[in-house]
Amino acid sequence: MTDAEERGDARRGRAGRQVVVTGYGAVTPLGHSADETWTAMLAGRSGIDTVDAFDLTDLGVRIGGQVRGFTPDRYMPPMVSRRADPYAQFALTAALEACEHAGLVVDDRLAPRVAVIIGSGYGPVGSIYRAANILRDKGPRAIVPSTQVTTAMDSAAGEISLRIGTQGPSRAQSTACASGADAVGAGMRMISHGEADIVLAGGADACVTAVDLAGSGNARALSRRNDDPAAACRPFDARRDGFVMSEGAAVVVLEAAEVADRRGATALAELIGYGATSDAHHWTAPHPEGRGACRAVEAALRDAGITGADVDYVNAHGTGTLLNDAIETAVLRKVLGDRVTRIPVSSTKSMTGHMIGAAGAVELVASIQALRTGDVPPTVNCDEPIDPDINFVPHRTQRHERIRIALSNSFGFGGHNAALVVRAV
């Protein structure tokens, strides 16, 4: 047993039960499943293109990461697909895949101890905008009664609970771009403290809309490389000019290790650390010294019972904005020390774009896949790294023989910061 593993065992003895990941699912601009998404990541394929879902007239930003070719009726009954906002459709699809992957069937015995936590930065914005337009154009009698359900932030968690039959807590989590990671962290705490045995946790967003492109574009947060969408998201590259708005979802099945053992489920990774903080600085800009982000990473490592010297891979927040990438690089240098120059650090947002509330959950899945396979997905478009001493895994997947512990960062508007630590099993 390594020193890091011994410290982790000591931490679990203090904090509660061991938490393992037994399944996951994803819907992203790269594919309609976790496997499709992972295969595309390893190939360095971009899911970013010119948006074709609505009129782009007068929009300064015309690119995004859409989930293309998604047919909800393949995954849910028509009565559900008709009422559910796309973000809830993506979340439900990812949850169903995660349960299948985990071999999880929620029966009457399990149901009271199974919870659902779904994070989202924007929630069902498509349904909200649509309802507002119907009210304006057709009047109040045209608003269907289910609008109260479909325009609620908890609608994704509700659809999952109804479909799968969970009877434990079911709730929404909203902390901007940290929402998916915070939902997973909250699920970990729930199991560790004995409030649930199994938690379906993750994030979802479907905010590639005219309103959201206009708003984030006017805030000068988005890349304007409309003429070259695949090259638009450039994390840690000197020529980066903003993030790319995207959509998608990911859900993981978290279980108490002893419950997974009783079910005969395979543990894919162990979730060993979670930390969250707030900057209390600015609505859209990170703290200039990265104080909140630094404390979140330090808290996650401390929770895991490890130090920065134990980390073998970082899936960075890496949005491609001027401030985020520079500050995150400084945070990693501070927390990991010299270790950061000896391990791979990559941003899969370079291929998916920024899926907002879904990002942290999708990136956790990628981190677990890296632990399981030794393949580290690349940071595409990183032609001129802002820190030449750090291995940002430019352009192509790299093979690393020993990746035991991975750190996944998520930092969001409003100063929300979250970090997750996972370990190979």
Cα–Cα distance measured from residue 338 to residue 334, given in angstroms and rounded to the nearest whole number: 9
Pair of tokens at residue 11: 């931490």
CB 132 within 8 A of CB 216: no
| Tokens linked to 381 | 């478009």
With the C-alpha atoms ordered 223, 346, 46, 417, is the resulting torsion angle positive or negative? negative
Q: Is 401 exposed, middle or buried (0-12, 13-18, 19+ CB in 10 A)?
A: exposed
Rounded Cα distance, 31 and 69, in Å:
9
Residue in 177, 207, 294, 382 annotated catalytic: 177
CA–centroid distance for 94 within its chain:
12
> CA–CA separation, 151 vs 156, rounded Å?
10
Catalytic site includes residue 101: no
Number of H helices, E strands in the chain: 14, 14
**Residue 385 near residue 393 (C-beta atoms within 8 A):** no
What residues are paired with 64 via a beta bridge? 49
């985020």: which residue's tokens? 324
Residue (of 103, 424, 99) closest to 269 by Cα position? 424
Do the strands 170-173 and 63-64 form a parallel or antiparallel pair, or are they unpaired?
A: unpaired
β-bridge partners, 206: 247
From the candidates 32, 101, 287, 354, which is the catalytic residue? 354
CB of 287 closer than 8 Å to CB of 415:
yes
Q: Is 193 noted as a catalytic residue in this protein?
A: no
Q: Is the dihedral of CA 147, 149, 155, 158 positive or negative?
A: negative
Q: Could you give the CA distance from residue 245 to residue 219 in angstroms, rounded to a whole number?
A: 13
Helix (H) or strand (E) holding 376: strand 375-376
Q: Which of 32, 287, 317, 416 is catalytic?
A: 317
**Bridge partners, residue 394, by sequence:** 379
Spatial distance between the Cα atoms of 238 and 217, rounded to a whole number of angstroms: 20
The token duo for 17 is 């039960």
Tell me whether residue 416 is one of the annotated catalytic residues: no
Give the tokens for residue 242.
């903003």
Let me know: does 412 contact 292? Beta carbons within 8 Å.
Answer: no
Structure tokens at 279: 């900057």
Which residues carry out catalysis? 177, 317, 354
